[in-house]
C-alpha cells in the first residue's frame, strides 16, 4: 500500500509560516508523509527539521519552485547559476530529510511566460537539468518535473510533453511529477495519461479538479488507482489541496472562498479517502 501524505502549505497562511508546528496536525489527521515546500533552502535548518520529523513519526517529501531570479532557462548565465545553486540546495536538503524526491517547478519559474521564441529557453532548460540530474543522482534523490496547466506554465503542460523533455535530458534521475488538478485541465483522459507516463512517474499529487479534497470533485479516482497499479507506481500519494483563502498562500493560489468547513477535519477526510480509495487497491 502506498504511503499517503499532505502538502504542509495546506495549513499555512504565509509561505514563511514555520513548518514544525504543523507536523502533529498532519500526523493526527492520519498521514504518513508531509511534503515540505523548500522555497528558501539556504535558510532552512534541515537537521532540526529531520529530528522533528523523526519525533513525530513522519516521512518527508520535498518540493520547490523557481522564480525569475532563479530561472534555469534564462539566457543570463548569472540567473541560471542562481537557479542551479537553488536546486542544489534543495536536493541536498531533500537528501538530509530522507525525501526520495524533489518535485515541483524545478525546470522553469511558476507563472512566468517569456516573450519571443521559447525554443532556446527549452534547450537551456535541458542543459541545466542534465547538470542538476548529476547532483540528484549523487544524493540518491529523484528530480521530478511537475507538469502544470497552461495558465501556470508553458514548457510542460501534458505527460506527452514531459516525456519528451525527459528523453532529451536523458538521465534516469529525472522523472515526472503529475498532479490531478493540472491533469484535469490538460489531459483528455487521466488514467490513460498515467499509463503513458509509466515508469517515468516519480511523484503524484492527488487533488480534486476544483482544488478541494480528493473525492470532492469529478475526477475518476478508481481509474487513477487502477492506472497506478497498472504501471506499478511505488511512490507517495500526496494531497496538495488548497482550501483556505486566508493570507498570501490563499491569494497566491487564487483561493477566493473557503473550500472546506474546518481544516483538521477535512484533512482527516483526505487521509481516509486516499488510504481507502486510491492507495488501498481492491
240-250, pLDDT tens digit by residue? 999 898 889 99
pLDDT for 19 equals: 94
Q: How far is it, in rounded angstroms, from Cα 113 to Cα 93?
A: 29
Average pLDDT score over residue span 220-242: 97
Average pLDDT score over residue span 136-150: 98
Concerning whether 69 is annotated as a catalytic residue, the answer is no
- Which of 173-182, 229-238, 256-265 shows the lowest mean pLDDT across its residues? 256-265
Tens-digit pLDDT profile for residues 147-201: 999 999 999 999 999 999 999 999 999 999 999 999 999 999 999 999 999 999 9
Average pLDDT score over residue span 107-126: 93
Q: Which band of pLDDT confidence, cut at 50, 70 and 90, is reported for residue 142?
A: very high
pLDDT for 282 equals: 45
Residue 233's CATH number = 3.20.20.150
Average pLDDT score over residue span 63-80: 97
Query: 258 pLDDT exceeds 90?
Result: no
Q: Which band of pLDDT confidence, cut at 50, 70 and 90, is reported for residue 58?
A: very high
Residue 211 — left, alpha, or beta (φ > 0 → left; ψ -120 to 50 → alpha)? left
- Find the catalytic residue in 35, 186, 187, 240: 240
Q: Which band of pLDDT confidence, cut at 50, 70 and 90, is reported for residue 259?
A: confident
Place of cell 485541465: 185
The parent domain of residue 9 ranges over 4-279
What angle, rounded to 10 degrees, do the helices at 46-56 and 77-97 form?
30
Total structural domains within the chain: 1
Identify the sign of the CA torsion 52, 56, 58, 64.
Answer: negative
- Find the catalytic residue in 35, 146, 186, 187: 146
Average pLDDT score over residue span 9-23: 93
pTM: predicted TM-score of the whole model, two decimal places:
0.96
pLDDT for 1 equals: 81
pLDDT for 24 equals: 96
Concerning whether 248 is annotated as a catalytic residue, the answer is no
Q: Which band of pLDDT confidence, cut at 50, 70 and 90, is reported for residue 82?
A: very high
Query: 265 pLDDT exceeds 70?
Result: yes
pLDDT for 247 equals: 87
pLDDT for 197 equals: 98
Place of cell 483556505: 244
Cα dist from 62 to 229, 235, 271, whole Å: 23, 13, 19
- Average model confidence (pLDDT) across the chain: 96
Place of cell 508531509: 34
42, containing H or E segment:
none
Amino acid at each position: 500500500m502506498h504511503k499517503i501524505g499532505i502538502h504542509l502549505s495546506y495549513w499555512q497562511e504565509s509561505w514563511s509560516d514555520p513548518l514544525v508546528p504543523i507536523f502533529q496536525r498532519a500526523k493526527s489527521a492520519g498521514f504518513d508523509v508531509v511534503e515540505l515546500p523548500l522555497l528558501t533552502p539556504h535558510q532552512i535548518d534541515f537537521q532540526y527539521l529531520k529530528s522533528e520529523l523523526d519525533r513525530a513519526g513522519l516521512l518527508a517529501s520535498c518540493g520547490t519552485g523557481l522564480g525569475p531570479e532563479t530561472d534555469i532557462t534564462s539566457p543570463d548565465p548569472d540567473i541560471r547559476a542562481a537557479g542551479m545553486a537553488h536546486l542544489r540546495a534543495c536536493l541536498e536538503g531533500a537528501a538530509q530529510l530522507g525525501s526520495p524526491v524533489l518535485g515541483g517547478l524545478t525546470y522553469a519559474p511558476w507563472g512566468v511566460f517569456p516573450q519571443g521564441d521559447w525554443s532556446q529557453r527549452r534547450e537551456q532548460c535541458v542543459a541545466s537539468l542534465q547538470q542538476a540530474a548529476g547532483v540528484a543522482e549523487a544524493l540518491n534523490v529523484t528530480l521530478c518535473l511537475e507538469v502544470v496547466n497552461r495558465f501556470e506554465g508553458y514548457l510542460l503542460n501534458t505527460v506527452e510533453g514531459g516525456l519528451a523533455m525527459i528523453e532529451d535530458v536523458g538521465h534516469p534521475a529525472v522523472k515526472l511529477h503529475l498532479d490531478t488538478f493540472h491533469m484535469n485541465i490538460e489531459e483528455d483522459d487521466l488514467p490513460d495519461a498515467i499509463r503513458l507516463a509509466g515508469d517515468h512517474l516519480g511523484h503524484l499529487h492527488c487533488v480534486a479538479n476544483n482544488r478541494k479534497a480528493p473525492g470532492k470533485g469529478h475526477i475518476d479516482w478508481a481509474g487513477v488507482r487502477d492506472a497506478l497499479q497498472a504501471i506499478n507506481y511505488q511512490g507517495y500519494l500526496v494531497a496538495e489541496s488548497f482550501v483556505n483563502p486566508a493570507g498570501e498562500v490563499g491569494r497566491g493560489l487564487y483561493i477566493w472562498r473557503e473550500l472546506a468547513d474546518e481544516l483538521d477535519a477535512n484533512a482527516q477526510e483526505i487521509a481516509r479517502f486516499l488510504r481507502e480509495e486510491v492507495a488501498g487497491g481492491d
